[in-house]
Amino acid sequence: MSWTIEDSIWIQIRLQCKIKLGYCSIGLRSTMTNCDMFAAITDGNSVTLTDYWARSHDTPKSDKNEGGTNDIFYDYGGVDLSGYIDVTFRRKLSTGDNFDQIINPDAKGNICWGYRDNRGGWTEHSDYGSAGFVWASSSATVFFKSSNGSKEDHGIAMSVAWGALAVIGIFVCRYFKYTAWWFYIHMIFLLAASLITIISSSEIYKDDGYNTKDITKDTNVHSRLGMVMSSLVIGECVFGFLTSYFKIFTKNVHAMTLITRAHKIVGYTLLICGLINCWKGWVLYGGRTSKALMILGFALAGVIFFVFECYQIFVRNGRRNPLVSKISCTKNEIPDKYKKMSHMKVMSMVREGKKLMFYDDLVLDVGHFCLSHPGGSFMISDCYGEDVGKYMVGCSSYGGNLLPYTHSLKAFSYLSNLAIGKIKYPRKYMLPIKEKPQHLMKFMLLFQKALNDHTFLSYFKSNNFKMSNSCSNLLWIGKHFMVCYKTKFKNVIRRYYSSIFVDINKWAYELGIANHLENIEDGLIKLIFKVYPGGLMTNYLNNLSTGDKIIFKGPLGPGLLLKSFEGNYLAFAGGTGLVPFLDLVYIAWKNLPEKSDFFLTMFVSFKTRKDGFALDILEKMQEVGEKWLKVYIITDESKDKEFLSDIIVETMKKEVTGAWICGPSGYNRHYADFLVKNGLDKNKIIVM
């Protein structure tokens, strides 16, 4: 093609094409979308010139058929001596027709072309191309840079980045968080998608530095969206690395939550923008096949996400989700694939460095889960060997938060993937009257006694189970039950309550503190609970009437893990956290041999003495068992409170065999950290 800018109004163009049967056409954009075209069509004898307007990658209609005018005017030429097209025509630089683009001499723009040499008429081209181009008025401004398929390469690169890599990266993060590999796939795939975006977009911008008035609205939107994405991916990579940094190296939960949310929001925004822009790109520059492939890709990704979401909601969430069960609120069947293990065995593995936890009757291997835990890896690594049911159901928190976080059903669904072993219920702890599952024991309230203004002792009876009357195995001390009920709105409230063998009324009578002994029937479960304003479970328990039923599961948890009465132990009890230690003191009192090296120092904390219970029993026990027991009762009124830290440190001067901590959120972590800071081996501490 050659041309002459004749004056400020006219341009003369000569088209020479080695075409004997077919056409050659020139478009005034880089793509056929909304593109002004002119074509020279030959039937072998003569050449027809037509002014076209292409709306998309489809057969363009002539301007006349679109409702405009034919604005190219034949000057001379037609078919040359060899039978090829050689035709010269003219048009106005600005025709005034809506279906013609303005030719701006010496301004950078694009052209595209297409041709066919084997069939008469205006049918699909056999080849095509595009280039950066200037309608130069002198040799000084000549510019031609073939795209060489760079737009198509960009399209393929971006489709791979956003249609495949990003989709897979986000997919594994959404559905495979419990695996050890999701993190690496997520990071590598999304980093690759980001780099591809930055490199490929930069290349395209380099090629396409044109005046926005010369490009179509669609191209403009596509290009601007691409620019936004190029900026966002950089931010997203930074958020990604910061998220990992905060999760792995800090305990800053607030910053972690903020950055994780930003990472998630920007990530999904990028995915959506990426998919939209891929679609826009293929509509602008691609043919029918690429559009069809794009639709297929979108549909496939949509279907895969939909299927996995349904699988997650209806199958996986249900595995350990009590909500799906019509009759039970503890449905919790555990496939037999898990190895049978004991708390003792697991704890010895933890001491050897294995990263294990308990969740009710499951043993979880959480080694690789540190990277996945949204609250930070420290929440996992600080809790090896703990029963994490309390954190999962939302009745305790890692720190001092009294409104703890109830984990989502999805989080619960990970448990069966992390599980490597199963702990059997201790034999003969619960004695079945009828063969019924121990994860679904229905008990009814028999009666309730107030221990102070807000703390109650309730007795529950079942027709199917009896609880052993006495603690015939030291390893039973300190275990707990999961208690649950379904609310009107089908939410399941689950909380844990320490089980207790000793009847404190009988104990007080035995010590001579109480002068009346009530006869209480065998096999009852006793719970001591404090009612909190707004407390979902404690108010429910407190409002039960005699005969009302409630579900128990258990006994669960490692408990005190005491094998024999030997060694020097510390016990920290906060509020109702005293319950498991009552059994310990009672059983020690009843069973300790005359000469024993067992010693227990108890730190029992209540806000005020009025808030406490069984304190007179403990004080009496202190007198009776002074050789093996020292009890500090710490309240706001007590003198010991001020010197508590010194007293604990003093007590630790004698080698400590083990320490138990049982109390509310915050209390447990405070004392665990305090003991470690003062030199006690972390493996000797049991947080209940």
Ligand X SMILES: Cc1cc2nc3c(=O)[nH]c(=O)nc-3n(C[C@H](O)[C@H](O)[C@H](O)COP(=O)(O)OP(=O)(O)OC[C@H]3O[C@@H](n4cnc5c(N)ncnc54)[C@H](O)[C@@H]3O)c2cc1C
Residues lying near ligand X in the complex (CB under 6 A) are found at: 390, 395-396, 402-403, 480, 495-498, 528-530, 532, 534-538, 557, 575-576, 579, 664, 688
222 vs 530, beta carbon nearer ligand X: 530
| CA 160/CA 293 separation, integer angstroms | 12
**Pair type for strands 22-27 and 108-116:** antiparallel
Is there a cis peptide before residue 558, judged by omega within 30 degrees of 0?
Answer: no
The answer to whether 528 is a known ligand-binding residue is: yes
| Displacement of CA 273 from its chain's centroid (Å) | 21
- Shortest distance (Å) from residue 373 CB to ligand X: 19
| 341 labeled binding residue | no
Beta bridge partners of 294: none
SS3 508: helix
Minimum distance between the CB of residue 434 and ligand X, rounded to whole angstroms? 27
Smallest distance from ligand X to CB 445, Å: 16
- Compute φ and ψ for 420, nearest 5 degrees: -125, -10
In the complex with ligand X, the residue whose CB is nearer, 247 or 530, is 530
**Closest alpha carbon to 239 in 272, 269, 261:** 261
Residue 193 C-alpha from the chain's centroid: 20
Query: 277 vs 538, which CB is nearer to ligand X?
Result: 538
Nearer residue to ligand X within complex by CB, 27 or 574 = 574
Three-class DSSP labels, 117-169: CCCCCCCCCCEEEEEEEECCCCHHHCCEEECCCHHHHHHHHHHHHHHHHHHHH
Least spacing, CB of residue 512 vs ligand X, in Å: 26
Q: 235 vs 535, which CB is nearer to ligand X?
A: 535
Pick between residue 541 and residue 600 the one whose CB is nearest to ligand X.
Answer: 541
Question: Closest distance between ligand X and the C-beta of residue 411, in Å?
Answer: 17
- CA–CA distance, 134 with 145 (Å, rounded to integer): 10
Alpha helices in 408-525 (DSSP H): 409-418, 504-510
**Residues 6+ positions from 532 with CB-CB distance below 8 Å:** 454, 538, 539
Q: Would you say 160 and 290 are in contact if contact means Cβ atoms under 8 Å apart?
A: no
Residue 209 CB, nearest approach to ligand X (Å): 60
User: What angle, 0 to 180 degrees and rounded to 10, lies between the N-to-C axes of helices 288-310 and 253-285?
Assistant: 150
Nearer to ligand X, 233 or 492 (CB): 492
Position closest to ligand X via CB: 535
The answer to whether the bond into 580 is cis (omega within 30° of 0) is no
Contact 598, 560 (CB under 8 A): no
Q: Where would I find the H helices in 543-633?
A: 579-591, 615-624
* 530 assigned to a ligand binding site: yes
Q: Which is nearer to ligand X, 588 or 662 (CB)?
A: 662
What is the nearest approach in angstroms of ligand X to the Cβ of residue 559? Answer: 9
Give the shortest CB-553-to-ligand X separation in angstroms.
13
Give me the half-sphere count of Cα atoms (radius 13 Å) on the Cβ side of residue 303.
Answer: 6
Residue whose C-alpha is closest to residue 437's, from 425, 445, 421, 423: 425
Q: Are 634 and 544 contacting, i.e. CB atoms less than 8 angstroms apart?
A: no
Instruction: Tell me which amino acid residue 253 is.
Output: V
> Position 505: which residue type?
N
Residue 38 or 443 having the CB closest to ligand X = 443
Nearest to 477, CA basis, from 455, 502, 456, 458: 502
Which lies closer to ligand X via its Cβ, residue 204 or residue 388? 388
Nearer to ligand X, 47 or 688 (CB): 688
Q: Tell the smallest beta-carbon distance from residue 554 to ligand X (Å).
A: 10
Closest CA to 440 of 454, 426, 453, 430: 430
CB contact at 8 A, 663 and 573: yes
Look at residues 225, 162, 150 and name the one whose alpha carbon lies nearest to residue 193: 162
Kindly state the smallest distance separating residue 549's Cβ from ligand X, in Å: 18
Least Å distance, CB 430 to ligand X, is: 17
Euclidean distance between CA atoms 385 and 609, whole angstroms: 33
User: Going along 274-361, which residue ranges are E strands?
Assistant: 339-341, 356-359
Instruction: Give the residue numbers of the binding site for FAD.
Output: 528, 530, 537
| Residue ranges at the known binding site | 528, 530, 537
